Structure 1
Amino acid sequence: MSGTRTREPGDVFGPRTTLFADVLSVGLATAVACLPVLTAPAALSTACAVLRGAGEDRPATAGRYFALLRRRTRAGDLAAGAVALAGLLLFAADLALAGAGLPGARLFAVLAAAIGVSAALVGLRACARPESLTDWPAAVRAAAGDAVRDAGGSGLVLLAVVTAALCAWMLLPLAFLAPGPVALALTAVDVRRTQGS
């Protein structure tokens, strides 16, 4: 995101405001693309790729987003969505069983929450990796290593997700814009990781 330009004559807004508007439009497009739940990982990965392109002076528009997403209808993307959905359903079932009053339920609930948060963190970081456009297993392996080696980046990812969830909880229509800032945070953490090494 280093490609900042100066304000051109006649520009009403500066380049940072333009990026903010692009992030919101990509976020809205991502929310629409996530509605069939199986497409959520591919949709978020595509949003990260489009926003990564903004740092390389490529347009970060909803049109470019949908053009890139159309090229991503492959079995690996749907499989990643199926794995994410199965993990979410398993997590919900585990927490429901823990709430049923079984012996050791509190310890089990804490353990299930820790595993769920870790899996979500690795999944989100995998979406930000460029490898996710073509090879999900490689992206997940690399993201698992990143989650351990880059604890600060992992904390930033969790903070971005919690902030987006709180904003959506406080004002429900913001839920449709939340994927954009989350994708921007994921991309910024990944760019920070690559520039730091």
Structure 2
Amino acid sequence: MRVLVPQSREPGELFGPRFTLFADMLAVGLAAAVASLPLVTAPVALAAACTVLRRAVSEDRPATLGQYVAELRAHGLVRSLLAGAAVLAAAALLVLDLLLTRAGLPGARPMSGALAVLAAGGLVVALRTAADPDVARSWRPALHRAAARSAADPSGCAWVTAAVVLCLAFVWMQPLLAPLLPGPLAFAVTAVELRRTPEGPCPAPPPPDEG
């Protein structure tokens, strides 16, 4: 399995690379929380966090605020607003449907269950779309790739769902942690995607010694 964090420590370094990555994750999460304040920018804020953390892991370099701002700009203002508006509209429609099922209509209970499953699946696909490495170029192809990956990788969907549940539990237990949680969530989704990255072919063994 792919090792996400290097094990070496530089001379004179007080903390290991795991602690550095943890600090970067929290800092990126705080930046994503600030960028998500208008709500319509939340999808792009999370996508930028995923990209910065992916590069921090794959290229073994610290994440910086400048990198995060550059990723936000790479998405473009119009595409960012359209993506955010689409996500908010889908969420509002789902909430409206859930409210209608509580109005005592026939078949309300099975419909509520179906909507809950649909909401969970949509959230997982949306998060995996945000973690797509090429999401800044276009959201639509990234969404199609995320849907295909989700269908082919149910265990990854389960891990993403578990990450969301843990984040909600942390918010319920300690609401003050909410501004930091976009970082761990983005890192969890990115780790799920990175675990499916091909390692590349192994080198061929040397020929046997005939002498």
Which of the five TM-score ranges fits, normalised by the shorter chain? over 0.9
Could you tell me how far apart the structure 1 residues matched to 2:46 and 2:163 are? 14
* 2:102 aligned with 1:102: no
**Unaligned 5+ runs, structure 2:** 201-211
Give the aligned length. 197
1:5 Cα offset (Å): 5.2
User: Residue in 2 aligned with 1:40?
Assistant: 42
1:30 Cα offset (Å): 0.5
1:63 Cα offset (Å): 3.1
1:99 Cα offset (Å): 1.3
Q: How does 1:118-157 map to 2 (within 5 A)?
A: 118-157=121-160
2:42 is paired with a residue of what secondary structure? helix
Amino acid corresponding to residue 15 of structure 2 in structure 1: F
CA-based RMSD of the aligned residues comes to 1.6
Q: Which has the higher helix share?
A: 1
User: Residue in 2 aligned with 1:190?
Assistant: 193
Provide the TM-score with structure 2 as the length reference.
0.88
After superposition, the C-alpha distances for 1:47-103 in whole angstroms (9 at most, x for unaligned) are: 010001012123312332123213333322211111100011111111111112111
Q: Identical aligned pairs, as a percentage?
A: 48
User: Residue in 2 aligned with 1:9?
Assistant: 11
After superposition, the C-alpha distances for 1:24-49 in whole angstroms (9 at most, x for unaligned) are: 00000001111111111111111010
Residue 29 of structure 2, aligned match among 14, 27, 30 = 27
Could you tell me how far apart the structure 2 residues matched to 1:95 and 1:3 are? 42
Kept in 2: contact 1:3–1:54 (CA 8 A): no
1:9 Cα offset (Å): 2.8
1:129 is paired with a residue of what secondary structure? coil
Kept in 2: contact 1:156–1:189 (CA 8 A): yes
Residue 171 of structure 1, aligned match among 153, 171, 174 = 174
1:35 is paired with a residue of what secondary structure? coil
Structure 1 stretches of at least 4 aligned residues deviating more than 4 Å after TM superposition: none
Provide the TM-score with structure 1 as the length reference.
0.94
